[in-house]
Amino acid sequence: MLDQVLDATIAVIIGVSSCLLYFWGTNLLLETLVRDKQTANGQIESRDELRHAIRPWLFVLPALSLLFTYLVYPVFETVWLSFHDFTGERWVGWSNYTWALANPEFLQSIGNNFLWLLVVPSLSVVFGLIVAVLADRVWWGTIAKSLIFMPMAISFVGASVIWKFVYDFRGPGSDQIGILNAIVVGLGGEPQAWITIPFWNNFFLMVILVWIQTGFAMVIFSAALRGVPKETLEAAQIDGASELKIFFLIMIPQIMSTIIVVWTTITIIVLKIFDIVLAMTNGQWETEVLANLMFDWMFRGGGDSGRGSTIAVFIMLAVIPIMAWNIRKFREEEQGR
């Protein structure tokens, strides 16, 4: 055990220090190599300009090369591979795409992903809003928010274990150890193997993500609601508006842009949803989703890079509008500065 800890520590130190060494080393190199020159007639020629031209690149080069290697190049390569066969060598045109659009598993994944897209962002936003509003009105609101926020720190796999235990199923007649079945039996119902019931099991998986993402939505909304001007709220109260009216007619419109941001953020997470499905069902009982199917094809039968890439491209296509919107919004903000 001690050996392992030692190995681990050494690995960590090497990894971290070589990164720091780069920045420190290149800076030293720049300072020594591009030094101010003393010309023949004794004048000092400043090479500040040259250093200025080089230094930014030393700063951004590691980042740019990593971004290029790990994100930019692979995006194009994936598109390229999606037009090739399973080895990635032979050009096959659109055949991976026609395969996908005729493949029942793929179509099922598309359907399920749509379900997820409809349910998870909306429920997370609704619950997040409710908690944010309620927590602002009670003295123990901070504690409540902390507890509801807590699942954000838990991994999808950890959350899957937690919820698989909630959904645990024992045959009728025996003591249920899953709380959901215990409640159902307590109310006089029949215990169910929840995650194996086609169609509805999708919702039991979605619950897990809603459970995690509500905290995220709540935190962002909480911050946004604090930005709603007090005077507006007070004026509405004096005018005799009911709490519900204030909520729907003043608060919601005021934080609409935040709601959209949260909605899109959760949408992106949902598009990539993978861990929960892999851990809970691995796509069985008609719960397949795109990311899990893609992962499956990456390794199925030695790996099919063509089909895997094609599925990835479909996920990417769904993200592109959000990407374009982000860039536009960023540009507007920059111009506003």
Partner 1 sequence: MSTSKRIRLTPGQLMVHLGLLLLVILWILPTVGLLVSSFRDKDQLAATGWWTALSTSVQNGQGRTGTSEQMVETGGKFVIAGNLLDDSKRTILTFNTNFRDLTAYKAGEVLTFKDQSQIRVEADGSYRWESEQPIEEKRGKRIFFVAESPPTFTLDNYVEVLTSEGIGQSFLNTFVVTIPATVIPITIAAFAAYAFAWMRFPGRQFLFVVVVGLLVVPLQMSLIPLLRMYNNIGALLDVSAKSYVGIWLAHTGFGLPLAIYLLRNYIRSLPRDIIESARMDGASHFQTFTRVVVPLSVPALASFTIFQFLWVWNDLLVALVFLGKGDDQIVLTSKMRELLGSRGDNWEILTSSAFISIIVPLVVFFALQRYFVRGLVAGSVKGG
Contacts of 51-57 spanning 24+ positions with Cβ under 8 A: 54/30, 55/30
Cα dihedral value 286, 289, 291, 297, nearest 10: 40
Minimum CB distance to partner 1 smaller for 118 or for 161: 161
Amino acid at 134: L
φ, ψ of residue 167 to 5 degrees: the values are: -90, 0
CB of 118 to partner 1, least distance (A): 17
Minimum CB distance to partner 1 smaller for 1 or for 40: 1
CB of 182 to partner 1, least distance (A): 5
Minimum CB distance to partner 1 smaller for 20 or for 40: 20
CB of 98 to partner 1, least distance (A): 20
Minimum CB distance to partner 1 smaller for 40 or for 337: 337
Minimum CB distance to partner 1 smaller for 41 or for 283: 283
CB of 126 to partner 1, least distance (A): 12
CB of 82 to partner 1, least distance (A): 9
Amino acid at 8: A
Amino acid at 315: I
Minimum CB distance to partner 1 smaller for 144 or for 250: 144
Minimum CB distance to partner 1 smaller for 62 or for 253: 62
CB of 200 to partner 1, least distance (A): 19
CB of 198 to partner 1, least distance (A): 20
Cα distance between residue 99 and residue 92, in whole Å: 11
Nearest Cα to 313, choosing from 75, 101, 112? 75
